A and B are shown apart, each in its own frame.
Chain A
Amino acid sequence: MTAAQISALLPLLVLSGGIVVLLIVVAWLRSGAVAFLGALVVLAATIAVTPLALGAGTQDIDGLLEIDGYALFFHGLVAFAAVATAVLSYRYLKPRAAHAQEFYILLLVATLGAVVTAATDHFAGFLLGIEVLSISLYAMIAYPQEGRGPLEAAAKYLVLSGAGTSTMLFGMALIYVVTGTLEFVPAGEVGRNEQLLLAVGQAMLLIGVFFKLSLVPFHMWTPDVYQGAPAPVTGFVATVSKAAVFAVLMRYALAVGVVDAEVLRNVIVVVAVLSMIAGNFLALLQINIKRLLAYSSIAHMGYLLIAVVVAATPEVRSFGVETALVYLAGYVLMTLAAFGVVTVLSNADEDAEELTAYDGLFWRRPVLAAVLAAAALSLAGIPLTVGFIAKFYLVAAGVDGAAWILVWALIVGSAIGIYYYLRIVFAMTKRPEAETQAPPVAWEGVVSVVVLGASIIVLGVFPSPVVDFVRALGGP
């Protein structure tokens, strides 16, 4: 292994080494605070060494991993989301779990799984990463000791995500039969029967991915899991697992040319349109903010598929990748901010998940309300927020790639979406009938959501740094 390969692997090595060290430390010191701080140190270290890895250029590690700018972007994004999740979980878990040490280790392992998923161009790495991620998530969802919700959500996630993985695995096997390799490579010239086999395999792989991305019609598990899972974990599921799976989908689609096949392209377009329309429509009916955000995330994943379809055209390829990265960065920020506010407002007994819990928040907690308003308006794609830049990118990419059906679906979907995002904002502006004393909230949670909210606004007004950074990374 060359020095360049080692420096490219450094973020992954630091992360996995950190997990081992923390496991040992926690075995001696059964303290939640130590585990929490340890996890933060590990995450900070892995982010800190990422520039070194970027300097090493694209490195192929034994055919299993492909460490390039694209993979390292996701590494940074996922680690950032993990930091926010850890900070938000600390005070949230205290009344819910007597021993919270393992939670932070699970969080690190899930991060590792996500990072591997984003960095692989090989089916073995794909499966490995996605399973490490999912299995940690089951445990994280079921972590609180009390209440049926988390257990139910974890069981549901376990069964459905398992079904998704097995479909995917079957697909991989079929693809392997045709291509004879587990690497992401085009099949080349194959006979008619093999072609059919390959198409079926790729379709099954896509279905598995759609399950993980909770795209319509494979979305049924999403609202229940989002609702039942503890609020900070929901934020993690909504951002990290989505970003990682999307990263590998984009890598595979571009390497193999999935979208070039007419049938599969149509499948993706139909799934995207359905997700945008159905996700937004179903979100209209929700009175539970976690379920509402679940449906909204379905719609956002549908929007994001535009980038996959557009990137298949050679002239628009780099613009499509750039769009996906900018969009995901924005999506992660605003989704974390939204679930962050939900977490901070949750009390020891239950999550602040009913929409009525947000009535008059502007007058009780102006700062938290402002962050949630920024997140909601950003999700709706209103200017001054990063969500607008993200949506601007998608429409631009759609127009440039002449994906008119998808662009129209995006417009219609966003139009519907405005209604329910504004409902959150409107609920917060209601005048309280009586002056109530707001209970105290965790200061570190408030700080982290304020940072998230501020970055939504700052990147919405000055997007150039992120745009230039993403452009310099190059595609997968």
Chain B
Amino acid sequence: MILAVVLLLLVAGVLAWASERFVGANAPRVVSLLAFAVGLAWTISEWLGGPAATGLYAAQHIEWIPRFGISVALSMDGLSLLMVALTMFLGIIAVVSSWDEIESGHGFFQFNILWVMAGVVGVFTAMDLFLFFFFWEVMLIPMYFLIAIWGHENKGYASMKFFLFTQISGLLMLLAILALVFVHFRAGGEITFSYKDLLAADIDPGIAMWLMLGFFAAFATKLPSVPVHTWLPDAHTQAPTAGSVILAGILLKTGAYGLIRIAVPLFPEASLDFSFWAMLLGVVSILYGGFMAFSQSDFKRLVAYSSIAHMGFILIGVYAFNEVGLQGAVVTMVAHGFSTAALFMMAGALQHRLHTREMSRMGGLWVHAPRMGVMTLFFVVASVGMPGLGNFVGEFLALLGAFGKNVPLAVAATVGIVVAAVYGLYLMQRSFQGTPNPDVAAMPDFGARDMSVMILMAGALVWVGVYPQPVLDLAGATIATLMP
């Protein structure tokens, strides 16, 4: 069934593209929305159906390239299910958020959105390293097109930078995958890319460290972590709203997912040896991202830098090497998906209305658009980490995990929460509060469509914040099997 869902998204992409010509400019959006709705309904029904005795909600295995022991092996456990559900949900959000934004090429636009998401679903469910890499790269091209075609003023530079960073780090991962496969092969095993078989591979510690670094390079770039984060502010700022929502909400999570699913379990000892440096990178990301966010004058760029800071919490959570830290990382992945996607939607809505992202040309917007103001305030507060909302739970658990591992680093990371409050409130202050900017004559407030999406996401954040147990249970079952 998983393959069918991936194919559903791929086929829907082609249909959406074709429907523009044969049905009308509105059709692609509808096709896309329907595909994501079906995908979400399927994921929820698998969840409600409960896992099989193996702990998997769905699994599939088809031979693909027997020459290299490559197969289309897909399976969905708790963690995968959580991420697939998030993907489908944010797919709907992305389509709705760009309902009016795109002026031409509707068909190709929806095609790209659907294909990115198909790649993402594949990454979250692949149980074969070749297949994983395959989907990892499938996400790339459509995302490139989304930025390169529908992006803002500096789209050529931003899309190229995004592509180069991801592709080069991806090549390192490919090298690491192949080296792992051949080390396993030379040690008497057969040639296979199967995740389960390679999990059992016995690798020389010296080589394991290098291979782990290959994977880490790819995942840290996608996450992103300092010092390979520089593509993110450009890509996020220049992308159209739907592109930013997908990038921040989902694509960054594939990096985190890769660390949790692949880098750490495949190389537990090497990861443990490396954990101090990884946590240090996390702390640096938190602080540096926070300070950079504070010094931005561009609404969208500020949110982009704040993402880097949030991803730092995931890094310290994963490399804390305890269950609490990992749980924190997973909850942060989900919560950040909602809060940042909403903030990017807000940035897109403001740009649509004011034709600028500069906060110096905003100010006092609450007067014109109180509903937008309320929603911005809600998501800023969520992103800052107010108790009762999802981000707090995630960051709290990640810090708790980190505290058990390395106290000085955990303390330094906690400072990041203060920084977050500063830049979050600063964002709110400059855009919606303060003296109304006389240049802004009037602007339409959110309508029913936008508000319903916003309230959905706000509801999700409250749910994760007040009653995170379902998320913890889903992720917990997987984490228990992955804990080294």
Where the two chains meet, the residues of A that have a C-beta atom closer than 8 Å to any C-beta of B are 377, 382-384, 388, 392, 395-396, 399-400, 407, 411, 414-415, 418-419, 422, 425-426, 429, 431, 463-464, 467-468, 471
Contacts and interface: CB of A to CB of B under 8 A. Distances in A.
A419 B174 contact: no
B68 to A, nearest CB: 8
B160 A395 contact: no
A429 B145 contact: yes
A395 B163 contact: no
Nearest to A414: B171
B148 A426 contact: yes
Contact of B66 (A377, A399, A464): A464
A286 B389 CA distance: 53
B47 interface: no
A377 B164 contact: no
A475 to B, nearest CB: 16
Nearest to A415: B168
Given A399-B179, A426-B148, 12 more contacts: A382-B137, A383-B137, A384-B138, A395-B175, A395-B178, A399-B178, A426-B159, A429-B148, A429-B149, A431-B149, A464-B66, A464-B67
Given A464-B65, A464-B67, A383 B133 contact: yes
A463 B134 CA distance: 13
Nearest to B17: A366
Given A399-B178, A429-B149, A464-B67, A383 B138 contact: yes
Contacts of B172: 411
A395 B180 CA distance: 12
Contacts of A429: 145, 148-149
B182 interface: yes
A387 to B, nearest CB: 12
B367 interface: no
Contacts of B137: 382-384, 388
Nearest to B186: A400
**At the interface, is chain A mostly helix, strand, loop or mixed?**
helix
A22 B235 CA distance: 59
Given A377-B141, A396-B178, A429-B145, A418 B133 contact: no
B144 interface: yes
7 contacts: A382-B141, A383-B137, A411-B171, A422-B160, A467-B65, A467-B67, A471-B67
Contacts of B138: 383-384
Nearest to A398: B178
Contacts of A377: 141
A382 B181 CA distance: 20
A463 B65 contact: yes
Nearest to A408: B175
Given A426-B148, A429-B145, A429-B149, A407 B168 contact: no
Interface-central residue, A399, A464, A468, by most chain B CB under 10 Å: A399
B167 interface: yes
A407 B175 CA distance: 9
Interface string B148-177: 110000001001100110011001101100
Nearest to B183: A399
Nearest to A388: B137
Contacts of B160: 419, 422, 426
Given A382-B137, A414-B171, A400 B182 contact: yes
B174 A395 contact: yes
User: Closest 9 A-B residue pairs measured CB to CB?
Assistant: A383-B137, A415-B168, A399-B178, A429-B149, A467-B67, A383-B134, A411-B171, A399-B182, A396-B178
Contacts of B179: 399
Contacts of B104: 431
A383 B66 CA distance: 18
Interface-central residue, B134, B137, B171, B182, by most chain A CB under 10 Å: B171
Interface-central residue, A377, A396, A414, by most chain B CB under 10 Å: A396
Nearest to A395: B178
Contacts of A431: 104, 149
A419 B175 contact: no
B6 to A, nearest CB: 13
Interface in B121-149: 133-134, 137-138, 140-141, 144-145, 148-149
B164 A419 contact: yes
A382 B174 CA distance: 12
B164 A415 contact: yes
B167 A415 contact: yes
B287 to A, nearest CB: 30
Given A377-B141, A399-B182, A463-B65, A392 B163 contact: no
A27 B66 CA distance: 53
Nearest to B64: A464
Contacts of A418: 163-164, 167-168
Contacts of A388: 137
Contacts of A382: 137, 140-141, 167
Interface in B185-240: none
Contacts of A426: 148, 156, 159-160
Contacts of B159: 426
Contacts of B133: 383
A415 B351 CA distance: 34
Nearest to A396: B178
B476 to A, nearest CB: 33
B171 to A, nearest CB: 5
Contacts of A411: 171-172, 175
Contacts of B64: 464
A399 B148 CA distance: 35
Contacts of A383: 133-134, 137-138
B148 A392 contact: no
Given A384-B138, A418-B163, A399 B67 contact: no
B67 A468 contact: yes
Nearest to B133: A383
A429 B65 CA distance: 34
Contact of A422 (B66, B163, B174, B181): B163
Contacts of A392: 174, 178
Contacts of B167: 382, 415, 418
A468 B65 CA distance: 9
Contacts of A407: 175
Contacts of A399: 175, 178-179, 182
Contacts of A395: 174-175, 178
A396 B130 CA distance: 12
Contacts of B174: 392, 395
A148 B21 CA distance: 44
A441 B181 CA distance: 48
Nearest to B67: A467
A431 B102 CA distance: 14
Contacts of A471: 67
Contacts of B148: 425-426, 429
Nearest to B167: A418
A450 to B, nearest CB: 16
A407 B179 CA distance: 11
Contacts of B181: 396
A290 to B, nearest CB: 23
Contacts of A467: 65, 67
B190 to A, nearest CB: 14
A202 B65 CA distance: 39
A429 B141 CA distance: 13
Interface string B98-122: 0000001000000000000000000
Nearest to A471: B67
Given A415-B164, A464-B65, A467-B67, A422 B144 contact: yes
Nearest to A391: B174
B88 to A, nearest CB: 22
B181 to A, nearest CB: 8
B444 to A, nearest CB: 27
Nearest to A463: B65
Given A382-B140, A411-B175, A426-B160, A396 B182 contact: yes
